[in-house]
Amino acid sequence: MANHADNDFRAAAKALMDVVAPAIDPSNPLARQQLKLVADWLDFYRSRLPHAMDRERLELSVQLEMARAVAEAAPAAAAVSLRAAIDDAAAVQERLGPRPPRVREVTARLEDEISALVRRSVDFDAAARQRVERIVVDDTRHLLDAQRSWFLPQSIEPEPDAILPLDVALRIRAAD
């Protein structure tokens, strides 16, 4: 499930400026100004997208550090719920893992290696080949479900009510 958000943001901003902007009535400078503002915001978010998880991690880290210090300074009885929140946040922080570029890199490598093994499976015995094929089909279905949920707001699904909610579709199976 490749992430094309950078290209999508860039294409949206370009479409606004190259196609929509010329169609705006020149006597409406406010519309032109607002259009430019929206295109600039798309470019801004596109430029920040690679850093979104780092920002989330920083915010979590700083809040966790502050919470630990505050809980330590406060009377124990007053910090019971804060300590529970600290435990929860610390567990999440431990599971965050590597930065997104490294995640994309190892994911792409896995995709390449799985594809290579599937191509080689023509030489496997029939039972092994069928097991490999079944796993790929089943797991690809999970990725397809997530992809369809991700793009649901674009209103291109013929049966939108059959699509999983995004938070459900993005749930990692091990956490189910």
Question: Which residues are CB-neighbours of 1 under 8 A, at least 6 positions away?
Answer: 143, 146, 147, 150
Nearest to 170 by CA among 151, 136, 152, 143: 143
Residue type, 5: A
pLDDT of residue 1: 58
Among 51-60, 70-79, 104-113, 114-123, name the one with the lowest average pLDDT. 51-60
Among 2-11, 63-72, 162-171, name the one with the lowest average pLDDT. 2-11
Tell me the C-alpha distance between 47 and 79, whole Å: 39
Task: Taking residues 116-136, report their average pLDDT.
Answer: 94
Question: Which residues are CB-neighbours of 96 under 8 A, at least 6 positions away?
Answer: 53, 57, 60
Nearest to 64 by CA among 80, 87, 81: 87
Tell the residue number behind the tokens 């809040």, with chain if given: 63
pLDDT of residue 49: 82
Contact 149, 165 (CB under 8 A): yes
Locate all alpha helices (DSSP H) within 16-125, ordered by sequence: 21-23, 29-48, 52-73, 80-95, 100-120
Contact 89, 65 (CB under 8 A): no
pLDDT of residue 175: 40
pLDDT of residue 2: 62
